[in-house]
Each structure stands twice: as C-alpha cells, then as structure tokens.
Amino acid sequence: MEENEELHVLMFPWLAHGHITPFFELAKKLVEREITVTICSTASNLTSIKDQLRETHSSIKTAEISLPQVAGLSPHHQTTKDLPPHLMPHLKRAFHLSQNQFKDLLRSLKPNFLLHDFIQPWAPEAALELKIPSSVFLTFSVSCSSFLYHLVLGKKPNEFPFETMELHPHESQRIQPMLEQQTFGMRDLERYKSCVEQSTDFLTCRSMHDIEGKFINYLSALAGKRVIPVGPLVSSRTPATTDEFFRQWLDARPEKSVVFTSFGSEYFMSEDEIKEIALGLELSNLPFIWVIRVSPNEVIKEINEVLPLGFIERVKERGLVVGWAPQGEILRHVAIGGFLTHCGWGSCMESLGLESPLITLPLQLDQPFNSRVMTREVRVGVEVERESDGGFKGEKVAKALKMVVLEREGELVRERARRLAEKIKEDGDKGVDELVKEIRRLSLIKGDENLA
C-alpha cells in the first residue's frame, strides 16, 4: 500500500458486551485518525452499540455473522447477555463453527489489519493465509493475561513472580474449571496461547503502564513480543439529557456520600449473596443506589422478592434498589463517595477515569486479579474481607463501605484515584498513536511483499 493510503482495520471481538465495548471505544479513536474500521459480530452483540453508531459514529462500519445452530442452544442466543451459565460451552461451539463465515468476510473485505479477541485462533490463522497482519486485543487485565500465559507455558501458579496477585484458596478453586474449559478438544488456554503466538509482532491490551507496567513487561517477556497498552478506553460520551430521576435523587445527597453498587451485566448473585449485600448496605447507614440483576432462569416478578423481608421499607429514605441504572452517568456525579463492584475490568477502567474509589468484591474469572491491581498496586480501593470458605458477611461489607466513604483511609484512596485520573488524562492516547504507527508499518511491509 502507499504511505498515505487509508487503512482498513477489521475488529472481531468475542460475543460479550464487556468485550465489544472496548473494541468499539478503540474503533472510535482509530476513525478519528482517519482509519476505516469494521466491527464484525452477531446482530445481537452489535445491538449494544448501534444507537451510538447511528447518532455519532456512523463512519464505523459493521459486518454481521450469524451463529450456526448447535444442539442445546436456542437460535436467539447469539451473545453472552442473559445467557444461562450452563449454555456457555454451546455458545463457544457455535462461535467456533462460524469460522467459515468469517473467512468469507475476510476475503471480501480485504482489510489491512485484523484486531481479534483471545478465544478464536482460527481468525488470525485465516488472516495469515491471506497475508493480513493481526494482533490479539486483550480486553481483560494484563495481570490476569500474564498469569494465564504463565500457566499455559507450563509454569506453576506459585511461581508467578508477583506477591500482590496471590490467590486465596477459594479463588484458586473457582478459577480451575475456567482453565480446563475446552471447545472441540482445545482448551481455552490453548486458544489464547495460539492467538498470542499468531499475533504479528505485537499484542494489544486495554491498560497502561501506570496501572499495570510490571505485568505488561512480564507478558512481553513471556510472549517474546511487544505489548502495546492503548489505555483504559472509557467512553467519553455524555448523554444529551441526564436521567432526571437519578440526577434529582443524587442532587439531594451530600457530596461524596453515596455508594453506587453494581455487579455487572453477566453475573447473577445467589440469594445468600444478595442478602449479605443488603445487610452490608443497611448496616453502613450510607445512602446508596443498588443495581440488582436477576437470573433469566428465575421466575421472579419483582426485585424485592429476592431481598430480605422489610429491607426496602427500612432503607427507603436513603436507598434506591433498581434493575438498571446509567453507571457512567452516576459515577460522574459529585455525590458518589464509593463504588461497590465485582471488579470487572471495564468497571475498574471506568472508575479510574472518573476518580471513583472502589470497594471491591471479586466474584469470578479475572476479577480477583483486577481487585488486587486496584487495591494493592495502584491502591484506589479497599477489598471486602472474606470468610475462609470464600463467602462474605454483611458486617464486612459495611466495614469496607464506611472505610472508603467515611474514614481517613477513604480520603487517601480518593486522592490516589484523583492523581491516577489526572495521569490518564495527561497520557491521552499515546498508546493508540503507537498502535496506529505499528498497523501502518505492518501494512506497508505487506504491501511491499505483495508488489514483490
């Protein structure tokens, strides 16, 4: 290709909202740099971004694939949203079987570069056949990414060289099944390894050196490739009209006094977990907004059916319990004093950009690693103490909430969060610029080879 020719990047995320969102945020930054971007996914998964595409980012293109039918999976399950956990292996099988559609799309679009997720090694393999350079884009924390790559290379968990990342016994037990998951005889860990190995020259990650520098360096050493951190990738979009109900409710509360409580879009808490969270919020005596998601498998008419008897009545003057809330909008409000979170990486990145101190309660997957980064590395949060069996009690939840919102430790946490948010703004999009530079370099090399 010519040096001033417009680049075309094809993005191919896994079928989860927590994955398509950072791909989309990165796409926004690439089109600002005059790069054509196409995001490939199922119609169900693209739904979450289509309003923004239509309103403000119409230059970002989409390409749809449809998952083939597999036994045990309803045709409408084309995303992880509201997917019962026992159907996840079926969704992965269907995704794997969509590879011929993807290969046809790749031949048709002929992009200059492919940016793909960690679970589909057949995507970079197809790109390689067409001499299209590619990179895996790691949308979860590099602390977790480097730990998984450490394991896939045959190293022992206790040899991971970062004491701050030590897993509790109950966390090790929970993560083990994830390490053994496989699709068509290939473990997810092996798929991840293959995606890393097939990346052309470098890996891309959603992080920055000021947050995970030593983990970025370790992953680079293990993989033998550069790792380009492109930043937190938090949406800068501010709704044209603030949600009036939440705004008025927050406006009536003192500055830095409210706890926002949410555990993500894909984890459904057990009845016992819900009761302990309710107890913690009640014992804290702090004002709060609590977003509860009920499993689609549960036959429940109202949210209060899963709450302790009388809870809503007892906290009605200071608490809101809702099924949905505009998280980013709420975290931006001056009344927010803390964010009680499961520590999904997206929520962590969003909170950092908005100076929101964290009260962390990691529940599954990469969340224990994310929590340790937030509470032990950059120290912008406090983790809820657990019981020896991994359970948690409302009293410990209340203790952590009050520590962050009311006590001296909370002031220190907020100050560190403020400084880190300033650093994020100061760094801007240096990582994105580096990524663009590398994509252009590889595209020029490919063009020269084709001419040869």
Catalytic positions are: 19, 117
Nearest to 10 by CA among 32, 34, 27: 27
Residues 362, 364, 370, 373: what is their CA dihedral angle, to the nearest 10 degrees? 60
Chain centroid to Cα 362, Å, comes to 13
**Taking a C-beta distance cutoff of 8 angstroms, is the pair 256, 337 a contact?**
yes
**Side chain identity at 220, as an amino acid letter?**
S
**Taking a C-beta distance cutoff of 8 angstroms, is the pair 186, 152 a contact?**
no
**Side chain identity at 444, as an amino acid letter?**
L
Which helix (H) or strand (E) segment holds residue 258: the answer is strand 258-262
Nearest to 230 by CA among 9, 4, 446, 1: 9
Chain centroid to Cα 217, Å, comes to 21
**Taking a C-beta distance cutoff of 8 angstroms, is the pair 326, 294 a contact?**
no
Structure tokens that stand for 169 in this block? 């016994």
| Exposed / middle / buried, residue 323 (Cβ in 10 Å: 0-12, 13-18, 19+) | exposed
Q: How far apart are CA 448 and CA 408, in angstroms?
A: 60
**Side chain identity at 380, as an amino acid letter?**
V
**Side chain identity at 155, as an amino acid letter?**
K
